Structure 1
Amino acid sequence: MLTFYHAPMTRSTRVLTLLVAIGALDAVEVRDVTVMRFDGTGRRDPSNPHPEGKVPLLVQDGEMIWESAAILLHLTDLFPESGLGVPVGDPQRGRYLSWLAWYAGVMEPALIHDAAGLSHPFLSATFRGPAEIRDRLSSALSTSDWLVGGRYTAADLLVSSPYLWFKDLDPGCDRIRDWVARCAAHPARATAMQMDGTALAA
């Protein structure tokens, strides 16, 4: 049994998008919960078992999986027929894992520090900055339309997500902008956004 704890229009929308893309909504119970939001609205939901009251959270047979990258990896491994992951033994598996980890460990922290106006040698040495992110993505996309194996995967879904959520966040080059547009055009994103909009309007 899979249960997905979700708050509409948050980071967990990435997981909802993947669930739509892999055709797994019938296999997963989606539970909408409230969370504290950046604007000060919302609250911690007592029905949400996440230890920090956050989303996304996936629970399988009583075991919790948290953090977007871990959940995306787990789901694409559970539903390999979707083609949105890279299976164990595939030569591209390491590249796929690396992009998921790079997003969580490098890209998102660097973008948050930059947006907050934080600057310190320790931060730039550890997480890099927007220029390094731009160069890394531009280089990766110079030989392929996608990050892994010449096809759209959960790595593209995750790594493109800041540019899709924060419209003022400029990727820095046309090659990356074109890739973000390709990611935005995936039909699962439109479906997930519609589902979130309906949930918020209820």
Structure 2
Amino acid sequence: MLTLYHSPRSRSSRIVRLLDELGVLDQVEIRIVSIARNDGSGGADPANPHPEGKVPLLVHDGVAIWETSAIILYLTDLFPDAGLGRVVGAADRGTYLSWLAWYGDVVEPVIVCAAAGISHPFLDATFRGVPEVVARLSAQLSKTPYLLGEAFSAADLLLVSPYVWFPEATPDVASIKDWIARCQARPADQRIMDFDAAHMTA
């Protein structure tokens, strides 16, 4: 049994979207929980088993999987027929894993620090900076419409997400803007927006 602990309009929304893109949304129990939000609203929910009160948290047959990149990898491995991940042995499996890890290890820290106005040589040396993130994305997207080539993948779903939540971070680079538009034009995006809106008011 698969259970996803989800708070609408949060980082876990991209996991709900992934489930929709995989075609398995009806196979997962989604439990809506509250979280502490940046505006001071909400708070930890005792119904959420995540030890830090965060989302997303996926539980599969009693085993918890946390952190978005790990959940994306787990689900795309569990449901390979959708073609949103890369199976073991695929020529670009390593590239897929690298994009997933790069998001959590580099992209999110860089964007959060930039949004907070935090700059320090130690941070730049460790995580790199916005120019390096933009250069890496634009280098790939100037060659292919999506990060792994001609088709949308879970890597695109993950890497596009900060620019959807925080459009002010979107660089003024045509290839990146066009990629964001392609990703967000997929029908699953509107379905998840509607799903979250319904559960925000519930």
Match of 2:91 in 1: 91
The amino acid of 1:130's aligned partner reads V
- How far apart, in 2, do the equivalents of 1:149 and 1:88 lie? 18
Answer whether contact 1:134 1:172 (CA < 8 A) is retained.
no
State the Cα distance separating 1:114 from its structure 2 match.
0.8
Whether contact under 8 Å (1:92, 1:149) holds in the other structure is no
- CA distance in structure 2 between the aligned counterparts of 1:186 and 1:157, rounded to whole angstroms: 10
Which deviations, in whole Å up to 9, do the C-alpha atoms of 1:57-95 show, x marking residues without a partner?
A: 000011100011110110011110111111110001000
Once the 2 structures are TM-superposed, how far is the Cα of residue 201 of structure 1 from its aligned partner?
A: 1.5
Once residues 41 and 103 of structure 1 are traced to their aligned partners in structure 2, the CA distance between those partners, rounded to angstroms, is: 27
Percent identical among aligned pairs is 55
Distance change in 2, residues 1:177/1:126 (3 Å):
same
Task: After superposition, give the CA deviation of every residue in 1:173-202 in whole Å (9 maximum; x if it has no partner).
Answer: 011000010111111111111000011112
Structure 2 CA distance for aligned equivalents of residues 122 and 19 of structure 1: 37
The answer for the alignment partner of 2:182 in structure 1 is 182
Question: Which residue number corresponds to residue 6 of structure 1?
Answer: 6
The aligned amino acid for 2:118 is L
Map Cα deviations across residues 24-78 of structure 1 (whole Å, 9 max, x no partner): 1121100000000000000100010001010000000111000111101100111
Residues 147-169 of structure 1, C-alpha deviations (whole Å, 9 max, x = no match): 01421000000000011111222
Inter-partner Cα distance in structure 1 for 2:160 and 2:28: 24
Count of equivalent residues = 202
Secondary structure of the corresponding residue to residue 168 of structure 1: helix
Return the alpha-carbon distance in structure 2 between the equivalents of residues 7 and 189 of structure 1.
16
Q: CA deviation at 1:113?
A: 0.7
Determine if contact 2:15/2:68 at 8 Å carries over to the other structure.
yes
Q: Which runs of 4+ in 1 moved over 2 A?
A: none
> For structure 1, which segment, 168-177 or 2-11, has the greater mean C-alpha deviation from structure 2 after superposition?
168-177
C-alpha RMSD over aligned residues: 0.8
Cα deviation digits, residues 75-126 of structure 1 (max 9, x gap): 0111101111111100010000000000000000011011111111110011
- For structure 1, the residue ranges without an aligned partner over 5 or more in a row are none
The answer for the alignment partner of 2:126 in structure 1 is 126
Partner of 1:62: 62
In 2, the alpha carbon distance for the partners of 1:79 and 1:73 equals: 10
- TM-score with structure 1 setting the length: 0.98
Q: How does 1:76-87 map to 2 (within 5 A)?
A: 76-87=76-87
> TM-score with structure 2 length normalisation?
0.98
CA contact (8 A) 1:145 1:179 kept: yes
Uncovered stretches (5+) of structure 2, i.e. residues with no partner: none
Residues of 2 paired with 1:70 and 1:189: CA distance? 21
Deviation at 1:142, TM superposition (A): 1.6
- Cα distance in 1 for partners of 2:168, 2:113 equals 16
Q: In the alignment, which residue of structure 1 is the partner of 2:101?
A: 101
1:37 is aligned to 2:55 = no
Which residue of structure 2 lines up, in the alignment, with residue 137 of structure 1?
137
